[in-house]
Amino acid sequence: MPFRDIATETIVARAGRVERKAVEDIKNEVDGPTRGRSSNRVLLAELAEQHFVISPSGDPSSCLLSTIRPKNVSGREVIAEEGGTKVLVELLDSADNDGFLEEVVLAVANLAFNNDNRVSMAADGCIKSLIKLLSSENKNVAKDASQALANLAYNDEINERITREGGVSVLMGLLQVDDPAAEEAARAIANLARNTSSKEVIVNHGGIDALIKLLPDTNVNCKRNAALALANIASGNDENKVSIASAGGIKKLIPLLTEGNEASKKNAAPALANLADKNMENQAAISAFGGIAEVWS
């Protein structure tokens, strides 16, 4: 990329929903000839005024994008076809400061809610880059990379690619109590566990024990994502049901039926339901630990 300007690249990173012209203008500015700093600021101000709403305290020329929101919400769907995702994927490996890298990774995570963008970014090589960023010393980057992989994993083919390229083992290293990235790593594991092949790899890497240890975590998002992951791991797999119960999963899931936020409760219930499905021992254990009473309370 011949031209690098942090303000311009931040525009790209936050342009999760933009019009076609905005994407082209951004791409041209990043890939085009070198300009003076003042010229860049003028162009960026014009882009901000044309395509974003600036809060009264915002300065368009400074591109403080935390004060900017999109004027139009339809742009996310056109990012892939306009080539914006390719720019972002390239920036995953070329960002030269942590603050900017956080913006880029978060933008990739947000764009990955759209399946066309998932396919485009995966084709451009984002999986390998994101897995590498899981090991970043900057925990915000690691957390956002986990979130991006979690969103990418909704696509079955990409789900398997993440697992084949070693994503599970690195994500497992983030499943530690008090690790800021743990909640999104658990969510990524939960989404990967929707796939039978990925589920097997997760279990073989000690996923069951690691997820159960997160259930008493004070972070409610860790609780809910760990519960969801266990629900998916138990789904349709008799051996995993036994393993989760033997590791103390039932006893630690039941308190979530009444503790934490609504998502924690909603994820704990299907986890227990999957554990009980066609398993009389688990059904008895759920009853013995008061699970039935909690469900009906």
CA dist., res. 113 & res. 201, Å (int) = 24
- Do 92 and 126 meet the contact criterion of CB atoms below 8 Å apart? yes
Supply the pLDDT for residue 263: 79
Q: What is the DSSP annotation of 27-62?
A: HHHHHS----HHHHHHHHHHHHHHHEEEPTT--GGG
Q: Which two tokens mark 280?
A: 């009389």
Chain segment 226-244, per-residue pLDDT in tens: 999 999 999 999 999 999 9
Q: What is the mean pLDDT of residues 10-28?
A: 42
pLDDT band per the 50, 70, 90 thresholds, residue 119? very high
- DSSP assignment letter at 32: S
Predicted confidence (pLDDT) per residue in 161-196, tens digit? 999 999 999 999 999 988 999 999 999 999 999 999
Give the C-alpha separation, 193 to 202, whole Å. 7
The more confidently predicted of residues 3 and 12 is 12
**Position 1 pLDDT exceeds 50:** no
How many other C-beta atoms lie within 10 A of the C-beta of residue 102? 18
162, β-bridge pairs = none
Model-level pTM? Answer: 0.76
